[in-house]
Structure 1
Amino acid sequence: MTIRQLPDTLVNQIAAGEVIERPASVVKELVENAIDAGATRVDIDLEDGGVRLIRIRDDGGGIPPEELPLAIQRHATSKIASLDDLEAVATLGFRGEALPSIASVSRFSIASRQGRDGRGTVLLVEGGRVGEVAPKQLPPGTTVEVRDLFFNVPARRKFLRAERTELGHIEEWLRQLALARPDVELRVTHNGKPLRRYKGGESGTLFSADRLGETLGEEFLVNALQVDHETPVSTESGSTMRLRGWIARPAYSRASADQQYLYVNGRAVRDRSVAHAVKQAYADVLFHGRQPAYVLFLDVDPRRVDVNVHPAKHEVRFRDSRAIHEFVYRTLSAALAETRAGAVAGIDPATGELVSPMPASMPSSMPSSTVSSAYGGQPAMRPDVSAWNRPMPQTGLGLRVDEARVAYGALYGASTAPQQAVRPLPEAVEGEVPPLGYAIAQLHGIYILSETVDGLIVVDMHAAHERIGYEKLKSAHDSIGLRMQPLLVPQTIAVSEREAETAEREAETLAALGFEVTRSGPQALALRGVPALLADGEIEALFRDVIADLVEHGASRRVAGARDELLATMACHSAVRANRRLSLPEMNALLREMEATERSGQCNHGRPTWAKFTLGEIDRWFLRGR
C-alpha cells in the first residue's frame, strides 16, 4: 500500500473525533478559550441542545484581524512557544486543536474585535473550507458560532442523543466551570429562552457561598466542611502542594458520584488516584454503597503535573502520584475526624458566613441551677460509665477475647472493674450548655433525649457507644503498631512480573504493613511474615490486594482497612445494647464522650448517631405562631 499525506480537512476531522465528542465538548473548548482571553462575561446561546446552534460571546481581549485565519489552523496557539511553556502551562487551552477541529465538522464563523480597534472582522468556515476575512461591526471581544454540528459527518451525528440529554451534558460542564470561576458571569439561553445565569464579579472569592448554592444547592452548603491545607513538596525547590475546597459531611451522601468535582491547578479533571484517596478517607464514616460529595482544588507546581495526556484534557499525570494520594487522604481524614456529634459546620445560606462549632450560651432567663436539676441534681461532670461495659464475646475473626484484652488494656474492661482508668473529659462550664445538651429521658431503651438551648437532640445510644469504643480501639492499636508474626513455612505466591518487581522495590513499605516478603523468582514471592492481628484471616487475598494497590496507587490501606473492620466488629459487640436502661448521669456521660470523640457523628457502619430538632421545627409541627 502506498503511503500518502492526508488532506488537511480529513486530518482536522480525525482530530475532531478525539476532541469533539458532543455539543458539550464544543461549549467546553470555546468557553475555555474565552476565559483564557480574559473574559469576565460569557454568553452561551444554544438551539436543539447545541446541535443546531452554539454561539459563544465574550468580552475578552479579542483577536487581531491578521491573526484570525491563523486561529483556525492546527496547532496554532498564543499560549505556548516552547517545551518549557508546555511543562508549566497554566491556561485552560493550549493544544491549538479546538477551533480547526470544530470548524471541520460544522458551519463555523468566528468574529472578533480588540478594544483599540474601531471595528471587528469575521471569518466563515464550512466543513473545513475557509472563506475570506471580512469587516463586521461588533463590540470588543469574540463571538464564535457553530451551526449544524456534524452535518458533514453523518456517522458521528447519529450517535448524538436527544435534545434534553445533550443539553444536560452542557449544563453539567458549565456547573463544573462555575464552581471554579466565580469571577466570571455565565449566561445561558436555550431555544431563545433564558436557561441559567451564574453571577460573576467575585474576584478572589474561590469558595463563594452564592456560587456553591447556585450549583450544588443549599443542602450542600449547610453540610459543607471547609478544607485548606498546604504542605511542602521539596525543600530544594521550595514548591508546595495545597488542597482547598469543600467536602460534605458524611450524613450528606449521594446515591451516585454526581457531586464530585476535582480541579488541578484550576482545571476540572478526573483522576483515579485522587478519587481513590477520597474514597479511603470516607471509608470509616460513609454508609455502605453511598458516595461522598466534594469540590476540591488541588494546587501543585505545574512542572510536577502533565496536563498533556488526554486530547480533551480530562486527565492529568502526576510526577509523584503516591505523595498526592497520601496528601489528599491525610488532609480529608483530618477534616472528617472533626465531624464530632454536636459540632455544627457549613455555610449559613442566609448570611454566607462559615458556621463554626461553638457551644451555645445559656439564655439569661434560664438559671444555672437548672443545669444540675435537669439530670437529677448531679454536678455537671463525667459520671462513671463502667456499667456500660460488658464482657466481649468471640469476634469470629481469628482474634481471641483474651488476646484483645491484653492488647488493648482496659478499653474493654468488665463491669466488675468500676475503677478502670479513663481519660478526663471536658466538664460543663457554668452558664454554658454543651453542644449535645443535657439528657432528660430515654425512649424505648434505644434513644437518649437531650435538651439544648434551642431544641431537642435525639441520640442512638448503641450507635454512639459503638463509635466511641471503635475510636478508642484504633487509638490503642495505633500506639502499639502492627506486630509481624513469622510463618513456620514460607508461603509461595505466584504473581505477575510487574507485581514481583513492585514487592521487591516496596519491601520496606510492606514491612511497615506487617508483611515480610522476598522475591523467589521472576513471577514468585515468598511470604515469610504476616500482620499478627490478621494472621487467621484470608491473608493471601489481603496480600494480593495490597500489592495491587501499590502497583496502581503507590500506597495501600488494605491492612489498615482489614484491621479496622475487625476492631469495628469488636466495638459493635461490646457497645451498650438496646433496652439497656441508663441513668441520667450515664446518659450525660455518653453525650460528653460523643462531643470529645472523632467521627462520632456516624457509627462504624456510617449510620448517623444523632439528630437535632430546633424549637422552630417543633413549633411548626404544632402550628405555633400561625
Structure 2
Amino acid sequence: MSIKLLPETLINQIAAGEVIERPASAAKELIENAVDAGASRIEIATSGGGKSLLRVTDNGSGMQRADLELAVRRHCTSKLDNGLDDIRTLGFRGEALPSIGSVAKLSITSRTRDASDGSEVVVIGGKVSELRPKAANPGTIVEVRDLFFATPARLKFLKSEKAEAGAITEVVRRMAIAFPNVRFTLSGTDRSTLEFPATGDDKLGRIAQVIGKDFEENAIAIDADREEIRLTGYAGLPVFNRGNAAHQFAFVNGRPVADKLISSALRGAYAETIPSGRYPVAVLDISLDPALVDVNVHPAKSDVRFRDPGLVRGLIVGAIREALARDGDRSSTTAARAMMSAFHTGYRPPPAQNWTPAASPFRPFSSEPQGGLRETVSPMFGDMAIPSARAEPVAEPAEERLAERIESHPLGAARAQVHENYIIAQTDDGMVIVDQHAAHERLVFEDMRKALHAKTIASQALLIPEIADLPEEDCDRLMEHAESLKQLGLHYERFGPGAILIRETPAMLGEIDAGALVRELADEIGEWDTSGTLNARLEHVAATMACHGSVRSGRRLRIEEMNALLRQMEATPGSGQCNHGRPTYIRLKLADIERLFGRS
C-alpha cells in the first residue's frame, strides 16, 4: 500500500476532531481570539445549544482584508512572534478557524478602525469563498452555523441542546472571571440572556457576578510567591463548599485551565477541613515566566505542564493553608442565612382546656440538674476537667467578668447549653451557637497533629487490655501497620487468628471505646494501598481517633467548661470546622435577630 498526501480539507477535519470537540470548544476559541484582539465588549449568541448557531461579536482591533484571507488558512497566526517558549496570548496555533470552517458553515466579517468598510469571507465544509466587501462596525463578527454538518458522525456524540448550551455558559463564566475589564453578554433562543458588566480592577466584584454574592462574603484573599511564581486569588471558607468542582477556577498567566495538578493541590490544601464528597470554592491566578510552563500540550490549550510541578503544588497548598489558619475560622454567612430561614415567627396557642394547678405540666424552677453526667474525663480542658459524676450547679459569672469576656473574645461568653450538645454564647454584636462535639473533636485533632509532628504522642496503658474481634484479613492489615500506629499512641498485638489485643491508647483521648476505634481503623486501612502509604495518612488516622476522644453529644457541661472550650477554639487554627469539614459554630448577628422580631 503506497503512502499518499491527504487532501487539505480532510487534514483540517482531522485537526477539528482535536480542536473542536463540541460547540463549547468553538466558543472558547472564538472568545479567545476576541480577547487577543483587545476587545472590551464581547457578545455571544447561540441557538440549538450552539449546534445550529454560534455567533461571537467583538469590538476589537479587527482584521485587514489580507489578514482575513490568511485567517482561514491552517497554521496562520499573528500571535507567535517569539517561539513556543514565550507565549503571551490565548491563541497561537492558527488552527481554530480553519478547523471550524472544515466541519461547519463559517462566515467572518471584520473591519479595522481606520478602514471605511469591512470584508467578509465564507468557508463551507472546508471550501473558501472569495473575499467580498461588507458594511460593518469596527471589530469582528464570527458566525458558525450547522456545526459538524460536514462530519455527521460527530453529531451523534453531542449531548442535548440544553447540556451543550450549559457548556458554552461555563466557558463564558470562566473567561469572564479571567478578564474582568471585558463586558460579556450571552444570549440566544436556547437560553435567557446572561450579562457580566465590566468591573475593571475589581476582580472580586467580577467573581461575585459569576459565582454569586455569597462568595464575596465567604472568601479569603490569597497573595503569595515562591521563587519566580506568584499566586493570587481567593479561597472560600472550608464551610462554604459545594457538591462538585464546578466552582473551582484556575488561570495560568490569564489563561483558563483545567489542570489536574491544581485540582490535586486544592484537595491537599483543604484536607481534613471539608467533608468527603464536598469541594472547596476557589479562584486561583498563577503568574510565572512563560518559559516555565508549556501550554502547547494539547490543541485545546486547557492542559498545561509546569517545569517544576512540585514548586507550584507546594505554593498552592502552603498559601491556602496559611490563609485558612489566618482567617479561615469564620463561620459561613450562608449557614447563618439558612438558620434564619429556618425560624418560624408567630405562635398559635392550642385549644383552650380546663386547667388546674394539679394538672399543670410545668414545675417550679429548680437548680438541681436533671439526669447524670457521663463518666468520662477529658484532658483537653486542663484544670477544668469535665466532671465524672453529677455536678453541683455553678453560679453565673459576675457581670463585670461576663462583659469582659463578651468584649474581649471573638466567640463571646457562654450563657447556656441546649439539647445537651449546643452551646449558646453571647458576643458583642450577636450570638454564637457551637456544636460542642464537633468543636472539641477539632481541638483534640489539632493536639494530636502537633504531638505527631513532634513525635511525642503519649500513650496510657489499659488496666485490663481490651480484645477486639475482627475478620482475619482485617487483623492482618492492622498488624502490617502496628509500628506506624504506635506513633499515635495506639499499641496492640495479635491475639489469635481473628482478634486484636489492645494494650495502650493515646493518653490525650481519655477514656474511649478502644475496640470500636480499632475496628474503624481496620475499615479505613482496607480502603488504602497497603504498600506503605499509611505514613502519609497518619493525620487522617489522627482525625478518626480524635472523633472517638472528643466530648460526645448529650454531655452536660458547666459554664466554666463551655468557656474553656470557646477560649481553646479561639486559640486553635482551623477550629471553625470539624475534622469532617462540618461547621463547629454558627454566628448570628444581633441585627438578624432583631429582624426576626420586626425591630429593624
Q: TM-score, normalised by structure 2?
A: 0.76
| Equivalent residue, structure 1, for 2:15 | 15
Stretches of structure 2 lacking an aligned partner (at least 5 in a row): 338-374, 389-401, 459-480, 493-521
Quote the Cα distance in structure 2 between the aligned partners of 1:49 and 1:60: 25
- Does residue 289 of structure 1 match 2:277? yes
Q: Check conservation: 1:443, 1:449, Cα contact below 8 A.
A: yes
Quote the Cα distance in structure 2 between the aligned partners of 1:481 and 1:120: 76
Partner SS for 2:531: helix
Partner SS for 2:103: coil
Quote the Cα distance in structure 2 between the aligned partners of 1:438 and 1:482: 32
Quick one: which of 259, 275, 291 aligns to 2:263? Answer: 275
Quote the Cα distance in structure 1 between the aligned partners of 2:191 and 2:333: 38
Partner SS for 2:74: coil
Quote the Cα distance in structure 2 between the aligned partners of 1:99 and 1:2: 32
C-alpha deviations, 1:148-172, integer Å up to 9, x for none? Answer: 1112211112322322111111001
- Does residue 230 of structure 1 match 2:225? yes
Kindly provide the amino acid, as one letter, of the partner of residue 317 in structure 2. Answer: Y
Quote the Cα distance in structure 2 between the aligned partners of 1:243 and 1:542: 33
Alpha-carbon distance, 1:140 to partner: 1.0
Alpha-carbon distance, 1:559 to partner: 2.5
C-alpha deviations, 1:289-317, integer Å up to 9, x for none? Answer: 21112111111221111100111011011
| Equivalent residue, structure 1, for 2:299 | 311
Kindly provide the amino acid, as one letter, of the partner of residue 285 in structure 2. Answer: F
* Greater Cα offset, 137-146 or 157-166: 157-166
Quote the Cα distance in structure 2 between the aligned partners of 1:431 and 1:588: 11
Q: Check conservation: 2:406, 2:428, Cα contact below 8 A.
A: no
Q: What's the % identity of the aligned pairs?
A: 43
Quick one: which of 232, 253, 262 aligns to 1:265? Answer: 253
| Equivalent residue, structure 1, for 2:542 | 567
Q: Check conservation: 1:182, 1:208, Cα contact below 8 A.
A: no
Partner SS for 1:284: coil
Residues 584 and 569 of structure 1: is their aligned pair in 2 closer, same or farther, counting only changes over 3 Å? same
Residues 606 and 199 of structure 1: is their aligned pair in 2 closer, same or farther, counting only changes over 3 Å? same
Q: Check conservation: 1:244, 1:297, Cα contact below 8 A.
A: yes
Partner SS for 1:135: strand
Residues 540 and 44 of structure 1: is their aligned pair in 2 closer, same or farther, counting only changes over 3 Å? closer
Alpha-carbon distance, 1:177 to partner: 0.7
| Equivalent residue, structure 1, for 2:487 | 533
- Does residue 25 of structure 1 match 2:13? no
Quote the Cα distance in structure 1 between the aligned partners of 2:322 and 2:536: 16
Alpha-carbon distance, 1:539 to partner: 11
Quote the Cα distance in structure 2 between the aligned partners of 1:573 and 1:466: 8
Alpha-carbon distance, 1:229 to partner: 0.9
| Equivalent residue, structure 2, for 1:147 | 145
Alpha-carbon distance, 1:337 to partner: 2.3
Q: Check conservation: 2:331, 2:585, Cα contact below 8 A.
A: no
Pairing of 1:329-340 with structure 2 (within 5 A): 329-339=317-327
C-alpha deviations, 1:38-91, integer Å up to 9, x for none? Answer: 11111112222211211111111111111211111111111114xx53111011
Quick one: which of 393, 408, 411 aligns to 1:436? Answer: 411
| Equivalent residue, structure 2, for 1:606 | 581
Kindly provide the amino acid, as one letter, of the partner of residue 544 in structure 1. Answer: S
Quote the Cα distance in structure 2 between the aligned partners of 1:293 and 1:446: 29
Partner SS for 1:91: coil
Residues 317 and 258 of structure 1: is their aligned pair in 2 closer, same or farther, counting only changes over 3 Å? same
Partner SS for 1:5: coil
Partner SS for 1:475: helix
Kindly provide the amino acid, as one letter, of the partner of residue 134 in structure 2. Answer: K
Partner SS for 1:208: helix
Quick one: which of 314, 323, 327 aligns to 1:326? Answer: 314
Quote the Cα distance in structure 1 between the aligned partners of 2:143 and 2:427: 60
Quick one: which of 125, 128, 131 aligns to 2:129? Answer: 131
Q: Check conservation: 1:341, 1:609, Cα contact below 8 A.
A: no
Residues 153 and 482 of structure 1: is their aligned pair in 2 closer, same or farther, counting only changes over 3 Å? farther
Alpha-carbon distance, 1:569 to partner: 3.4
Residues 219 and 227 of structure 1: is their aligned pair in 2 closer, same or farther, counting only changes over 3 Å? same
Alpha-carbon distance, 1:473 to partner: 2.0
Residues 388 and 298 of structure 1: is their aligned pair in 2 closer, same or farther, counting only changes over 3 Å? farther
Kindly provide the amino acid, as one letter, of the partner of residue 228 in structure 1. Answer: D
C-alpha deviations, 1:460-487, integer Å up to 9, x for none? Answer: 112112211211221232234899xxxx
Q: Check conservation: 1:340, 1:595, Cα contact below 8 A.
A: no
Q: Check conservation: 2:422, 2:435, Cα contact below 8 A.
A: yes
Quote the Cα distance in structure 2 between the aligned partners of 1:153 and 1:101: 12
| Equivalent residue, structure 1, for 2:531 | 544
Quick one: which of 192, 199, 204 aligns to 2:201? Answer: 204
| Equivalent residue, structure 1, for 2:96 | 98
- Does residue 54 of structure 1 match 2:41? no
| Equivalent residue, structure 1, for 2:73 | 73
Pairing of 1:285-434 with structure 2 (within 5 A): 285-339=273-327, 341=329, 389-390=377-378, 432-434=407-409
Alpha-carbon distance, 1:37 to partner: 0.8
Partner SS for 2:181: coil
Quote the Cα distance in structure 2 between the aligned partners of 1:7 and 1:70: 18
C-alpha deviations, 1:564-620, integer Å up to 9, x for none? Answer: 133223333332233433222221221121111101011122221111222333334
* Greater Cα offset, 7-16 or 251-260: 251-260
* Greater Cα offset, 534-543 or 5-14: 534-543
| Equivalent residue, structure 1, for 2:40 | 40
Alpha-carbon distance, 1:449 to partner: 0.6
**Could you say which structure has the larger radius of gyration?**
2
Alpha-carbon distance, 1:341 to partner: 4.3
Partner SS for 2:296: coil
Partner SS for 1:442: strand
Quote the Cα distance in structure 2 between the aligned partners of 1:296 and 1:157: 35
- Does residue 215 of structure 1 match 2:210? yes
Q: TM-score, normalised by structure 1?
A: 0.73
Quote the Cα distance in structure 2 between the aligned partners of 1:117 and 1:414: 83
Quick one: which of 144, 154, 157 aligns to 2:155? Answer: 157
| Equivalent residue, structure 2, for 1:551 | none
| Equivalent residue, structure 2, for 1:459 | 434
Alpha-carbon distance, 1:343 to partner: 6.5
Q: Check conservation: 1:389, 1:575, Cα contact below 8 A.
A: no
Residues 450 and 388 of structure 1: is their aligned pair in 2 closer, same or farther, counting only changes over 3 Å? farther
Quote the Cα distance in structure 1 between the aligned partners of 2:403 and 2:568: 12
- Does residue 245 of structure 1 match 2:233? yes
Stretches of structure 1 lacking an aligned partner (at least 5 in a row): 233-239, 350-386, 393-409, 417-426, 484-526, 547-557
Quote the Cα distance in structure 2 between the aligned partners of 1:583 and 1:531: 34
| Equivalent residue, structure 1, for 2:397 | none
Length, aligned pairs only:
495
Q: Check conservation: 2:407, 2:427, Cα contact below 8 A.
A: no
Alpha-carbon distance, 1:224 to partner: 1.4
| Equivalent residue, structure 1, for 2:394 | none
Quote the Cα distance in structure 2 between the aligned partners of 1:411 and 1:268: 54
